[in-house]
Amino acid sequence: MKQSIKKNQTQQSLADSIKAGLYKLWSFPGGIKLPGNKSQSNHQPITSAKTARQLVIPLNQHIGQAAEPVVQVGDKVLKGQVLGHAHGIISAPVHASGSGIVTAIEERPIPHPSGLSALCVVIDTDDYEQCVEYTPLIRENKVSEAQAGETRENSADEQSITALSNEQINSQIADAGIVGLGGALFPAAAKLHTAEKMHTDTLIINAAECEPYITCDDVLMRYRPEEVILGILLIKKVVGAKKCLIGIEDNKPEAYEALLSAISGYTHAHKTAQTEPQIEIIPVPARYPAGGEKQLIQVLTGKEVPSRGLPMDIGIICHNVATAAAVYQAVYRGEPLISRIVTITGGAVKVPQNMEVPIGTPIRDVLTQAGLNEEKIEKVIMGGPMMGFALPSIDIPVTKATNCLLISEKDELTTPPPAMPCIRCARCSDSCPMSLLPQQMYLYAKSRELDKLQEYNLFDCIECGCCSYACPSNIPLVQYYRYAKNEINNKTQERNKADLARKRHEFREERLEKAKLAKAEAARLRKEKLAKKKALDAEKAKQEEAKEASSDDKSDSTASEKSAANTTAANSADLIQEAIARAKIKKAQQQSQRKNTENLTEDQQNQIDEANERRSKNSQIE
Amino acid sequence: MLSGILAFIALASFFGLVLGLASVLFKVESSPVVDKIDALLPQTQCGQCSFAGCHPYAEAIAAGEAPINLCPPGGDNLIQSLADLLDVEVLQMDADEDANQGPTVAVIIEDTCIGCTLCIQACPVDAILGAAKQMHTVIESECTGCELCLAPCPVDCIEMIPVKQTVKNWRWPAPQYNANNQAAETIFTTLDHVLAENAKP
Ligand code: SF4
Ligand code: SF4
């Protein structure tokens, strides 16, 4: 009772301060009011999950390239040990979330709308929970002390944050495998690195958590506000932001208070250092999707992220509170991202709660621990009811992306009735937070006019589901957009592949053509050579003939003279003999001149034979 | 009168010269229609259209010598886009039913390969690596799945396998919402409407 009064008061004071114009707020177009359904799960402190007998840790839990496994089957691994290294610029390492033996590195089903499998490291855990030795950058002050509000001797703390270099912090974040825990799963270190280079001046921390049922960020802020604040300070230092705004929906007064007192505790403790944390907590009206990155930026700063652009283009970087807490853990405890807070809620769960679950724990184990009314289960949804997806089975692991497990009971979530034709009521465009024209995009998606869809900025759609929710004809609009986006990406990819194939084919044709020309040229040259040789031979032969003929003539003529004279026969016969002998000698001489291949050694002869054989073969092939 | 005629003659010859020069200087190598058609073709270079590759088929289409429905790898999508481009009627695919079974790639069974290089000579996109009497292999990312390497192989060691579906290349299915399509619904219900009941006053 007391609590609720207090809560009402805080809410009142929040509303007042907004009204009083303490915070200048802007607004985003569209959006819808949704029932929160958060109170079921946000009253208990964070529980922790028991270590599962078997952990299944996917190697790709982030946007970008999958991690490269560095362990082998049979290896003994400790908690916190690296299982896979980051592979490429946009990637993140993956760590063991418990100690044990690696029993397999294979494809296992992972939580994904497709229900497909991906490469996972499977660890059979032992009971020892052995940890690798963590190397924090800053020694941690006991959180309990901080909570007690005691003046901590930690002005050293602030100094140590400033003493750290950006590279140090960023490489610690990269090594810890931290990814955007708000749902984007973009490797945090890569994002911070770009922000640092782009001179980002505003850091926005997303604590809105606008989707119904989900409360993991809420309880994180309530029960570990110091971690969040210190994490934020670290991020702020790395990106070099001048100011930091925390946007929180006004339905979380407890979290708001907790953060406020954490900040004032921090300022109090750091009076000596005379530094203001320069963090502002700004409550924003609860309206879905206020937690969308672009929407939150618009509400807090009045600036709009350009179409198909990034917040960094307008000097803003956005991070989630849970990411900030993970950064804290990495820097102050040296602990990699091996567990996350998961909201377990829905009608079929006996005790809705938030649980800190080691990555890789089977969802079945988590649900059993939370207590499940098996007969009541209708659907298991990962994520919230607006943007989440139904899981095909509960024998898949919790990953860095698992913020909420919503186990709906029958009739808790209505199954969409069959879609009716669009009546052009424009409720969808009224609710669209991105100011798109959903009904137009729907028509084009249906008739697969992909260029038109792009003209209507399909790719600015954040798939928030407001339009489908608002549509009185129950048209599953978002599914059309997802499908159309996929189609377009698919087409581009195919196009690229076809272009590559064309290039390679053309290159091949060109190469073959060149080879053919070269061959023809070679053949022509050979022929020419041959012809020349022939001509030469022919000439020689002619000369020879001519010579021979002349000598014959001579002998003939002498012979004829002799015979004609018919005198001294013996003389003449001698002469003839002489002439013949002369001619013979001459011939022999000529022959020996022409042939230099006589008197060859056996080796040389063999070589020649081989060469001849080769030549004849070649000509046969040709 | 005379000056007018002269002026026009001068103008005409000037523009004639300019146009003539332009047609020589900015000569378009091949017909733009052919290029446009070629850009739509899948570049598998498989020859199933009975032409010696995608570009020859594009030329034939442009010349009106071939219908637009001869390319099985392009499928119905290609026919549709060709029909749009050329403003002709959409035709039925002229191929066997099982001709297009989704993308495939060739793999060489390494134990059986004798290194004869015949497949290398057949591959239209140089996607096969190897040398005489050495084992050959297919570069998966370059393979267009044209199947031209299957026939020349003397030991039948090349197989076509479907491209593996992974989380990365998986696509959302087209929405099919009707009351009796339960199967589709269970797979990808995103519960966009789930709170409708709660929200209604
Ligand atoms: S809300 Fe639904 S029925 Fe109305 S215009 Fe949009 S798509 Fe059409
Ligand atoms: S899903 Fe896309 S089109 Fe629909 S309301 Fe959200 S941003 Fe607009």
- Section A391-400 average pLDDT: 90
B145 C-beta neighbours (distance < 10 Å), count:
19
pLDDT of residue A424: 92
Confidence of residue B66 (pLDDT cuts 50, 70, 90): confident
**pLDDT higher than threshold 60 for residue A80:** yes
Give the separation between CA A431 and CA A466, rounded to whole angstroms: 6
| Locus of tokens 């402190």 | A45
Rounded CA-CA distance A112/A541 in Å is 88
User: Is pLDDT of A140 > 80?
Assistant: no
Q: Tell me the β-bridge partners of B137.
A: B129
Among A195, A222, A188, A149, which residue's Cα sits nearest to residue A331?
A: A188
Q: Using CB atoms, which residue from A33, A118, A379 is nearest to B166?
A: A118
Phi/psi region, residue A334 (left: phi>0; alpha: psi -120 to 50; beta: rest), is left
Q: What is the DSSP letter of B111?
A: T
Which chain B residues are Cβ-neighbours of A110 within 8 angstroms? 167
Give, for ligand 2, the residue of A294, A428, A457, A461 to mutate: max count of ligand atoms closer than 8 Å to Cβ: A461
**A402-437 pLDDT tens trace:** 999 998 887 777 667 788 889 999 999 999 999 999
- How far apart CA A30 and CA A432 sit, in angstroms, is 5
Enumerate the residues of chain B whose CB falls inside 8 A of the CB of residue A415.
185, 189
Mean pLDDT, chain B, rounded, equals 80
Ligand 1 center from residue A424 Cα (angstroms): 5
* A452-476 tens-digit pLDDT: 899 999 999 999 999 998 999 888 8
Per-residue pLDDT tens for A234-261?
A: 999 888 888 899 999 988 999 999 999 9
Helix, strand and coil in chain B, % to nearest 5 = 35, 5, 55
B200 — pLDDT class (breaks 50, 70, 90): very low
- For residue B39, pLDDT over 90 is answered with no
Q: Evaluate if residue A22 carries a pLDDT over 60.
A: no
Give Cα separations from A389 to A102, A368, A379, A582 (angstroms).
30, 21, 10, 111
Structural domains of chain A, with CATH = 25-381 (3.40.50.11540)
* Chain B contact for A385 (CB, 8 A cutoff): yes
Between CA A466 and CA A478 the distance in angstroms is: 9
- Judged on CB neighbours under 10 Å (0-12, 13-18, 19+), A501 is buried
Average pLDDT rounded to a whole number, residues A375-395: 86
- Grade residue A72 by pLDDT with cuts at 50, 70 and 90: very high
CA A594 to chain centre: 77
> Is A498 in contact with B43 (Cβ distance < 8 A)?
yes
**Can you give the pLDDT at residue B189?**
40
**Residues A541-598: pLDDT tens digits?**
888 888 877 766 555 555 555 555 555 556 667 777 887 888 787 776 665 555 555 5
Look up tokens 């739509």; give the residue: B40
CB contact under 8 A, B195 and A35: yes
Instruction: Give the distance from residue A246's alpha carbon to the nearest chain B alpha carbon, in angstroms.
Output: 28
**Nearest Cα to Cα of residue A346 among A328, A325, A371:** A371
Q: Is the pLDDT confidence value at A439 over 90?
A: yes
CA distance A378 to chain B (A): 11
Residue A470, ligand 2, Cβ within 6 A:
no
Angle among Cα A461, A115, A351 to the nearest 5 degrees reads: 90
pLDDT of residue B87: 86
Q: How far apart are CA B45 and CA A485, in angstroms?
A: 28
**A169 or B28, which is more confident:** A169
> What is the rounded distance in angstroms from the CA atom of residue A209 to the CA atom of residue A251?
10
Q: What is the pTM of this model?
A: 0.74
Q: Above 0.85 for ipTM, yes or no?
A: no
Task: Using the predicted structure, report yes or no on whether residue B128 has a pLDDT greater than 60.
Answer: yes
Lowest mean pLDDT among A191-200, A422-431, A436-445, A606-615: A606-615
Banded model confidence at residue B45, pLDDT cuts 50, 70, 90: confident
**Residue A299 confidence (pLDDT) above 60:** yes
Q: Give yes or no for residue B179 having a pLDDT over 50.
A: no
Which chain B residue has the Cα nearest residue A66?
A: B168
Residue B199 has a pLDDT of 44
Domains of chain B: residue spans and CATH? 32-96 (1.10.15.40), 101-165 (3.30.70.20)
Percentage of residues in chain A with pLDDT exceeding 70? 84
* A499-526: average pLDDT: 91
Q: Which residue has the tokens 């009206």?
A: A285
Per residue in A340-352, pLDDT tens? 999 999 888 888 9
Structure tokens belonging to residue A586: 């001459």
- Residue B41 token pair: 């073709």
Rounded to an integer, the average pLDDT of A357-375 is 89
Cβ of residue A422 lying under 6 Å from some atom of ligand 1: yes
A52-73: b (≥16 Cβ within 10 Å) or e: bebbbbbbbbbebbbbebebee
- The pLDDT value recorded for residue A423 is 92
pLDDT of residue A106: 92
The answer to whether the Cβ–Cβ distance between B172 and A479 falls below 8 Å is yes
Residues A383, A300: Cα–Cα separation, whole Å: 25
Mean of all residue pLDDT scores within chain A: 83
Question: Which residue, among A400, A170, A218, A209, has the nearest Cα to A293 in the 3D structure?
Answer: A209
